[in-house]
Amino acid sequence: MQLPERAARLAAFATLGALGTTQDLARAAIESMADAGPDLEVVAEETLSLVAVATARAAEIGLRDHADVAEAVLPTLLDLPFSYRDYLIGGAMIAQKDASLLDANEEIYQRLQRKQDFYAVHLPEGQFPGDRALQDKLPLWMGRISPPGLPETPSDRLDALDVQSTLVTHLKLVLAFAKKGSLDR
């Protein structure tokens, strides 16, 4: 398989998985905190930032022997929160026929970049974010998306959810796809 085709297939595969996984994690978290009124935008941005960085790390490990594909794909995966925001803003601009919605984008991009930077520090390059790493890092995510004043700790809230296995399954799929260029069919 040639570079452009392999990179495109991996980017599409990982993006579909990242968006689906983000929705699953966000939905579970929101339902678990429904009575506290979580900020839905914070949950969405934090979750997609976490999943995008973790997905890029999994792909990076799978592409260790394919630097050319990694160079083409990893920036795209890390850019998912920004691309998704552009998609949402574009849709709102079309629906409302209002180009002024672009005015707030720089502030939003800076906020998203801070979230990306946070998760990039906690999920370092060159390391697969497996069960052990996520067991330590998911409480940070839960703490960042939780409204203040909840009676239990972020770790306690996570124990009641099955988000870690959902995320690890996604990351293992991305790793396998990145290693082989496709999943065995």
Q: What is the DSSP string of 25-74?
A: HHHHHHHHTGGG---HHHHHHHHHHHHHHHHHHHHHHHTTT-HHHHHHHH
Token pair 């390391």 in the structure block, residue: 127
Q: Whats the size of the chain, residue-wise?
A: 185
Tokens of 56: 């890029």
How many folded domains does the chain comprise?
A: 1
> From CA 55, how far away is CA 63, in angstroms rounded?
12
Domain-located, residue 126: yes
**How many other C-beta atoms are found inside a 10 Å radius of the C-beta of residue 97?**
6
Residue 158: which domain range? 3-180
Q: Is 73 helix (H, G, I), strand (E, B) or coil?
A: helix
Determine the pLDDT at residue 19.
95
Determine the pLDDT at residue 58.
98
Is residue 100 predicted with pLDDT exceeding 90? no
Domain-located, residue 59: yes
Domain-located, residue 185: no
Domain-located, residue 119: yes
Q: Are 128 and 175 in contact (CB under 8 A)?
A: yes
Task: Give mean pLDDT, residues 174-182.
Answer: 88
pLDDT-derived band of residue 185, with 50, 70 and 90 as boundaries?
A: very low
Domain-located, residue 112: yes
Determine the pLDDT at residue 121.
97
Domain-located, residue 56: yes
> From CA 62, how far away is CA 73, in angstroms rounded?
12
> From CA 24, how far away is CA 169, in angstroms rounded?
12
Determine the pLDDT at residue 93.
58
Domain-located, residue 29: yes
